[in-house]
A and B are shown apart, each in its own frame.
Chain A
Amino acid sequence: MNGVNRALTGAKVLGFGGYQPDRVVTNDDLAKIVDTNDEWIRSRVGIESRRYARDDETVADMAEAAGAKALAASGLEPSEVDLVVVATCSPESPMPNVAATVAYRLGIVAPGAYDLNAACAGFCYGLGAAADSVRAGSARNALVIGAEKMTSWMDYTDRSTCIIFADGAGAAVVGPTADGEPAGIGPTVWGSAGDQAHKIVIPSRTGALTQDGQAVFRWATTALHPVALEACTRAGVTPADITAFVPHQANLRIIEAIARKLGIPRDRVADDIIHTGNTSSASIPLALSRMAEQGRLQPGTPALLLAFGAGLTYASQVITVP
């Protein structure tokens, strides 16, 4: 007799949701505190405005708000969720983790709950881990959240970074496919480049984020489109099949360069960065939520996700739009 006798199932995204803080910060607002201007920011990174959390608003608060929306969109009860994963690199403190607190607040009773840090790549890492947990039977359904308060880690005299980053959270619920239904989350193609770890860092627990922008730009515009192509291949689709390309919202010029190399037309590409800024691990689910609100997502069709960030880390997968 076999030690384990259980057929693997498939996994799919059941729903997603996003949360943005109320406070809108424009480029003109930033020009009052740091030597910059609207034209410079628009042309370099493509951002027009971004959202900042209140001083008393935590990563867990934002994660909870996004998680509640994703749960509502999925149609599940909290009691049906067995795993909560929060991707974040900007929590207020190392302990306790964010995931257990958020699960408790959402009424999810005693799930597996952990945080993961793959910086801006975190959401696609979490989605891959959640999908694998559902496939393997470790969770019936899983809630994956990317939540960041990046503004806590900025140097507001460094005009190359403080204009880029912002706050927010986005989430997705992952569940099993029905018998005979095709997989709704393709294999995760992921990796890292630790030899370039020094290119994006927060050097201490009270430090601020610094990055070698030119080097990161070169890496992002040359190393990542093959990762996205591999994710397509392993999901059995081609870039021509992709109805929505949702890369990490780091810089509009990186987004457009990668989309060009993949041959994906601009109207299928997420550009949420324009009004959201770079929200690190929250950017992909926030962009998905925005595209859904705008009617730019077609349920049942393949969307390509591509995340990348400090580490350096990267991950990509194709999902079926719920």
Chain B
Amino acid sequence: MTDQEILAGLAEIIEEIAGTPADEVAPSANFVDDLDIDSLSMVEIAVAAQDKFGVEIPDEQLKDLKTVQDVVNFVAKSS
């Protein structure tokens, strides 16, 4: 899967969980500061990402994933 495909899939997840339109989800966006996503929503995103990409994102990893690009990189590296 290319980074672009992961980004598109992740943006769909973010739209569903946080309500931010998928086409407004920038790779540089910070989950807390830019997307107003809290720790529980991050868990929901991680679970949805696991269903979509088949990559498990453990709780202890989540706190290090601060931007959309961080998650894209993590999924790309792990898949």
Residues on A lying within 8 angstroms of B by beta carbon are 43-44, 213-215, 217-218, 221-222, 253, 257
What residue in chain A is nearest B46 (Cβ atoms)? A218
Can you list 22 A-B contacts with CB-CB less than 8 angstroms, sorted by A residue number?
A43-B38, A44-B38, A44-B40, A213-B40, A214-B39, A214-B40, A214-B43, A214-B59, A214-B62, A215-B59, A217-B40, A217-B43, A218-B43, A218-B46, A218-B47, A218-B59, A221-B43, A221-B44, A221-B47, A222-B47, A253-B40, A257-B44
* Interface SS of B by simple majority: helix
A sample of 7 more A-B contacts (CB under 8 A), given A214-B59, A217-B43, is: A213-B40, A218-B43, A218-B47, A221-B43, A221-B44, A222-B47, A257-B44
Q: How far apart sit A258 and B39, CA to CA, in the bound complex (Å)?
A: 18
B62 proximity list for chain A (CB < 8 A): 214
Give the B interface residue count (CB, 8 A): 9
A5 CB to closest chain B CB, in angstroms? 52
What residue in chain B is nearest A251 (Cβ atoms)? B40
* Most chain A CB within a 10 A radius of its CB, from B38, B43, B47, B59: B43
Report B46-60 residues with CB < 8 Å from chain A CB: 46-47, 59
Q: How far apart sit A213 and B44, CA to CA, in the bound complex (Å)?
A: 13
* Most chain B CB within a 10 A radius of its CB, from A44, A215, A218, A253: A218
* Interface SS of A by simple majority: helix
A272 CB to closest chain B CB, in angstroms? 20
B39 proximity list for chain A (CB < 8 A): 214
Q: How far apart sit A43 and B43, CA to CA, in the bound complex (Å)?
A: 15
Q: How far apart sit A253 and B43, CA to CA, in the bound complex (Å)?
A: 12
A217 proximity list for chain B (CB < 8 A): 40, 43
Q: How far apart sit A296 and B62, CA to CA, in the bound complex (Å)?
A: 39
A266 CB to closest chain B CB, in angstroms? 16
What residue in chain B is nearest A212 (Cβ atoms)? B59
Q: How far apart sit A253 and B47, CA to CA, in the bound complex (Å)?
A: 14
What residue in chain A is nearest B62 (Cβ atoms)? A214
Q: How far apart sit A214 and B46, CA to CA, in the bound complex (Å)?
A: 11
Q: How far apart sit A221 and B44, CA to CA, in the bound complex (Å)?
A: 8
A218 proximity list for chain B (CB < 8 A): 43, 46-47, 59
B38 proximity list for chain A (CB < 8 A): 43-44
What residue in chain B is nearest A43 (Cβ atoms)? B38
Closest 5 CB pairs of A and B: A218-B43, A214-B59, A217-B43, A217-B40, A222-B47
B43 proximity list for chain A (CB < 8 A): 214, 217-218, 221
Q: How far apart sit A214 and B62, CA to CA, in the bound complex (Å)?
A: 10
B40 proximity list for chain A (CB < 8 A): 44, 213-214, 217, 253
Report B20-51 residues with CB < 8 Å from chain A CB: 38-40, 43-44, 46-47
What residue in chain B is nearest A260 (Cβ atoms)? B16
Q: How far apart sit A218 and B49, CA to CA, in the bound complex (Å)?
A: 13
A261 CB to closest chain B CB, in angstroms? 10
B44 proximity list for chain A (CB < 8 A): 221, 257
Q: How far apart sit A44 and B38, CA to CA, in the bound complex (Å)?
A: 8
Q: How far apart sit A215 and B58, CA to CA, in the bound complex (Å)?
A: 9
A257 proximity list for chain B (CB < 8 A): 44
Q: How far apart sit A43 and B59, CA to CA, in the bound complex (Å)?
A: 20
A271 CB to closest chain B CB, in angstroms? 17
Q: How far apart sit A222 and B44, CA to CA, in the bound complex (Å)?
A: 9
B45 CB to closest chain A CB, in angstroms? 11
